Amino acid sequence: MELLERTYQKFLAASTGGLDALGKVIRLRENNREGLFYLRNTCCLYYTSAEASKFSSCCLDSVEDRITAYRRVLAEGVVPH
């Protein structure tokens, strides 16, 4: 997990497009499972697609709701949205 997080940080530092303003990656632990999850800050305009389905990182959901869903992924292996 540390390698993945360090690699993401290196990628972010090397990017020139302001990716850090679009969201952040957080590390969560639930029981004996741990993961990195993305918290999007900007809307992807999901409602303009034919499917109109939101990403699990959708900023239209509260941060608390997204973190709860991500914790469920770790605890139960379920996929949010």
Per-residue model confidence (pLDDT) at position 79: 62
Per-residue model confidence (pLDDT) at position 29: 93
**CA atoms of 14 and 44, how far apart (whole Å):** 23
13-65 tens-digit pLDDT? 888 788 888 888 999 999 889 999 989 898 888 778 787 778 788 888 999 99
Where are the domains positioned within the chain? 2-76
CA angle 50, 64, 11 (to 5 degrees): 70
Q: Between 79 and 75, where is the model more confident?
A: 75
| pTM of the full structure | 0.75
Of 34, 58, 35, the C-alpha closest to 45 is 58
Residues contacting residue 78 through CB under 8 Å, at least 6 positions apart? 72
Per-residue model confidence (pLDDT) at position 46: 79
Q: Across-strand partners of 37?
A: 26
Q: Is the predicted pLDDT of residue 72 greater than 80, yes or no?
A: yes
